[in-house]
Structure 1
């Protein structure tokens, strides 16, 4: 065992990279749930975004095209959930699970020709002077643009929900869709847009895994990140900044267990590998008693005729 081989600076920088796909997916799902919809299909949308982004990036040679395609792919897949839950009025839990299973199978089919290929490298956004600072530079100012996009998106969602009319209407729909409908708001339209936004964010998170964090395509490579993102929304009590902190917590646990494995810590690899998911379960158990922050209409079917 050699803990001295763990570089703290690289550890923190890697933590931010590991947290980004979780954060992107969690912020998207947070908006969806704020609108009163529970979409358990995050994992399916992430893996679909991962293959869409990877395939288009490889075919065009442009990571930007890959990320845009991933967002579109995730949003388009979310439309299946829209049709089932907002128009056919199907159960949201069952529809979300079906979406995840469909996404896993669909991505495996699309990805058959891309196994073993390498995507084009995503350039880092090195900021002059700041990137060269000791310690702080490598941690904060030497990452890819999508990582900063995740942080900016968190700030934007927080500002929209807290200070704008759009955020007020979204929260009103999530708290009491019948009252919002009575006031003349288009509940279904608002929820459709929120679901598509969540799908686009999940697709971006999936592409971040296949294009940056693990630059390759492997079937099922999201490996439960979508479920962690779902748990993170609860952990954050539906607050964007807490989602950011929670993503860094879970990303840190993931990176730490990989570093401990590399350092030869005398703990079975299986225990280290399951630690992020174990901590997710523990956090959910601790917070399960406090449901006061959850949108009141979360998971409830809306009947426009009411």
Structure 2
């Protein structure tokens, strides 16, 4: 039997690796897939893949509901069984791609099931576009958390950094004559300002990082509310609407389904793509990433080989805060909205949940944030699908899944070992 070996000061302790939680998690996926297959209503399912601008138009697809639901549900069940067999035989963590694939096919089967036997149409491209739209600030916030927490800094202040970026982006863009690109430069600077306070108190004075983050969130909310009421509502031209224009990428934006979703976006979304890819490559394929992970896992050992632990924590905190500031700009100049009190509405905390669900990796955080965005987009589309279910119920699904993920039902979830622990040389 495969076992996990952990060492204490005197002897090594051998503990068997538990497979109960991942078995339950993938077992639920398989069971739900079977339930979807058995409960398919009679009739057809209508799916719309294109919405007009694409060069290649795909006509409205009308498929037998049994086939449209049964195929993706069966694939999800098979993948879940494969994952179960792997867990039981090797007692190792299931690869992320297998978990994402099983969940993705299950979601597709669920969506088609919603419109099966009805006159409603499943606008898949519109749903995916809404998912990316609602998930963009969450992805920025989750990537900020990855950068900070990988060096051991718990960044609860993501909410404040998003709010500060939204405020700075809107105000500076308005003062620059409605130029959103100037606001796009100011937003990460505001995020860095909040991050500098977090690093100063957490690293220099070793204040509890969770408490510091909470206080900074309250501080930023209070300041932005004060300036909104005292300046933005009193002075003309300080809070005008300005929006980053869409920049379609030739050829790629004409690809059916994915083209309008991924390649007909503004500069802020393209920056998100670049940041996510760069972080993933540098974090796991470069000397910088090795040092970052060493500081977060074992700062004393990193210091022994010449890595300045606290300087690395300072740099990463400021870098992550700049990323969060960019995400805050999406609430104002990214959507063409003026700044409003608490415009972020707790998105920073949802980004923290995406960070945990994504296992502190850039790719995992992106997938988790997209899942949160999908739940929000689905809740807004239920009525168009002819579903009378309360729209708040789908919004609860990501949080329930997060609880299961943190509990380890999808595999082992462990933060960096030195997270939240101040380092004294």
**TM-score above 0.5:** yes
Q: Name whichever structure is richer in strand by fraction.
A: 2
Separation of aligned partners in 2, 1:184 and 1:173: 11
Separation of aligned partners in 2, 1:40 and 1:121: 29
Separation of aligned partners in 2, 1:210 and 1:301: 35
RMSD across aligned positions (CA): 2.2
- The residue aligned with 2:225 is 108
Separation of aligned partners in 1, 2:159 and 2:363: 22
Q: 1:55 aligns with which of 150, 162, 171?
A: 171
- The residue aligned with 2:90 is none
Report the 3-state secondary structure (helix = DSSP H, G, I; strand = E; otherwise coil) of the residue aligned with 2:242: coil
Between stretches 160-169 and 281-290, larger displacement belongs to 281-290
Separation of aligned partners in 1, 2:384 and 2:332: 22
Between stretches 279-288 and 245-254, larger displacement belongs to 279-288
TM-score norm. by structure 1 comes to: 0.91
Separation of aligned partners in 1, 2:306 and 2:398: 39
Separation of aligned partners in 2, 1:218 and 1:5: 35
Report the 3-state secondary structure (helix = DSSP H, G, I; strand = E; otherwise coil) of the residue aligned with 2:423: coil
Residues 1:298 and 2:419 are matched in the alignment: yes
Q: 1:73 aligns with which of 178, 181, 190?
A: 190
**Residues 160-204 of structure 1: CA deviation (Å, up to 9, x unaligned):** 111111111110000011121222211111101111111111111
Report how far residue 69 of structure 1 moved. 0.5
Separation of aligned partners in 2, 1:136 and 1:145: 17
Residues 1:123 and 2:245 are matched in the alignment: yes
Report how far residue 227 of structure 1 moved. 0.3
Separation of aligned partners in 2, 1:87 and 1:247: 32
Q: Structure 1 residues 104, 10: CA separation in 2 closer, same or farther (over 3 Å shift)?
A: same
Residues 1:220 and 2:342 are matched in the alignment: yes
Gaps of 5+ in 1: none
- The residue aligned with 1:283 is 401
**Residues 214-266 of structure 1: CA deviation (Å, up to 9, x unaligned):** 62221011111100111111101111111111111111111111222566742
- The residue aligned with 1:170 is 292
Separation of aligned partners in 2, 1:93 and 1:266: 40
Report how far residue 105 of structure 1 moved. 1.0
Report how far residue 6 of structure 1 moved. 6.0
Report the 3-state secondary structure (helix = DSSP H, G, I; strand = E; otherwise coil) of the residue aligned with 1:288: helix
Count the aligned residue pairs: 300
Q: Name whichever structure is richer in helix by fraction.
A: 1
Separation of aligned partners in 2, 1:3 and 1:167: 52
Structure possessing the higher relative contact order (Cα contacts under 8 Å, 6 or more residues apart): 1
Separation of aligned partners in 1, 2:124 and 2:368: 20
TM-score norm. by structure 2 comes to: 0.66
- Which structure has the larger Rg over C-alpha atoms? 2
Q: Structure 1 residues 216, 173: CA separation in 2 closer, same or farther (over 3 Å shift)?
A: same
